[in-house]
């Protein structure tokens, strides 16, 4: 398995579009979620489910770093799923799959690492509640859940996040969906009510956005740990 591919090499897997290659390079370089997720994935050493995977950057960055664990990405956008499949074919990576599927319809196999980055706010309030309950079910069944979302009412970063969401729709990168960011209490309440150990911490890196990581530990650890909120 090839390891430590260059940034340019990763972006080349996404075809002839200079814009898309530039987007990939920027995300891999500046978005802190990918190195953090890879560390968690390596430590856990279990299959990965990437809900709302987009063009599959998590899976491709895993493979480029030499992580060969089974990876399955789902997304509602067919062209993004196809881009992920093409990138996999470009490298000849094995044990990585993509499918067109909505977040709420994604089957979560117990015991793996479940990732859901920057997707929750596209769901309305009732759908968010259902999604959080499904993630809590996964944690109760032994999965580690890594959830990233912006949080409502977090100052200038929240305003910057709303501007970015407007831009994604203006450019057609995202078509439709809600702009429905939850509060910290709304997210953590679901997991705490189930007795699960949930941690929340800032994860915006060098970006201006109000991104936070929510880490929900599997039930085995949840039973022996106190619940924790961000300061």
Contact present, 123 and 178 (Cβ < 8 Å): yes
Pairing verdict, β 113-117 and 144-150: parallel
> What is each CA distance from 220 to 67, 95, 142, in whole angstroms?
25, 28, 7
In a domain, 120, yes or no: yes
Label residue 116 exposed, middle or buried (CB < 10 Å: 0-12, 13-18, 19+): buried
In a domain, 202, yes or no: yes
Asked if the model's pLDDT at residue 29 lies above 90, the reply is no
In a domain, 1, yes or no: no
Specify the pLDDT at position 100.
97
Q: Which of 47-51, 186-190, 201-205, 217-221 has the lowest mean pLDDT?
A: 217-221
In a domain, 46, yes or no: yes
Rounded to two decimals, the pTM is: 0.88
CATH of residue 183? 3.40.50.150
Per-residue confidence band for 64, with pLDDT thresholds at 50, 70 and 90: confident
Domain count, the chain: 1
Q: Please list, residue by residue across 179-213, b when 16 or more beta carbons sit within 10 angstroms of its beta carbon and e when fewer do.
A: eebbebeebbebbbebebbbbbeebbeebebbbbb
Question: Residue 31's domain spans which residues?
Answer: 7-222
Say which DSSP state 129 is in: H
Per-residue confidence band for 219, with pLDDT thresholds at 50, 70 and 90: confident
Average pLDDT over residues 99-127: 95
Specify the pLDDT at position 156.
87
In a domain, 228, yes or no: no
Specify the pLDDT at position 3.
46
Paired residues of 112 in beta bridges? none
> What is each CA distance from 227 to 13, 31, 130, 189, 217, in whole angstroms?
41, 27, 21, 11, 10
In a domain, 230, yes or no: no
Contact present, 24 and 55 (Cβ < 8 Å): yes
Label residue 99 exposed, middle or buried (CB < 10 Å: 0-12, 13-18, 19+): middle
């Amino acid at each position: 398995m090839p390891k430590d591919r260059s940034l340019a090499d990763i972006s080349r897997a996404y075809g002839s579009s200079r814009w898309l290659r530039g987007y990939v390079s920027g995300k891999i370089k500046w978005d802190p979620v990918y190195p953090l997720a890879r560390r968690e994935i390596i430590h856990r050493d279990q299959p990965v489910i990437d809900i709302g995977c987009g063009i599959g950057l998590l899976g491709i960055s895993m493979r480029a770093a030499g992580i060969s664990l089974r990876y399955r990405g789902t997304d509602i956008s067919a062209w993004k799923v196809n881009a992920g499949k093409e990138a996999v074919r470009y490298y000849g990576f094995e044990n990585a799959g993509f499918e067109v599927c909505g977040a709420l319809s994604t089957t979560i196999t117990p015991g793996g690492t479940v990732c859901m980055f920057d997707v929750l706010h596209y769901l309305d309030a009732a759908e968010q509640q259902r999604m959080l309950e499904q993630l809590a079910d996964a944690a109760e069944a032994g999965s580690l859940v890594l959830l990233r979302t912006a949080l409502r009412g977090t100052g200038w970063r929240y305003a910057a996040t709303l501007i970015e969401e407007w831009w994604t729709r203006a450019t057609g990168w995202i078509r439709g969906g809600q702009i429905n960011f939850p509060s910290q209490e709304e997210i953590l309440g679901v997991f705490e009510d189930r007795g699960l150990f949930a941690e929340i911490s800032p994860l915006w890196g060098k970006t201006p956005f109000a991104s936070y990581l929510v880490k929900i530990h599997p039930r085995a650890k949840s039973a022996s740990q106190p619940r924790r909120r961000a300061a």
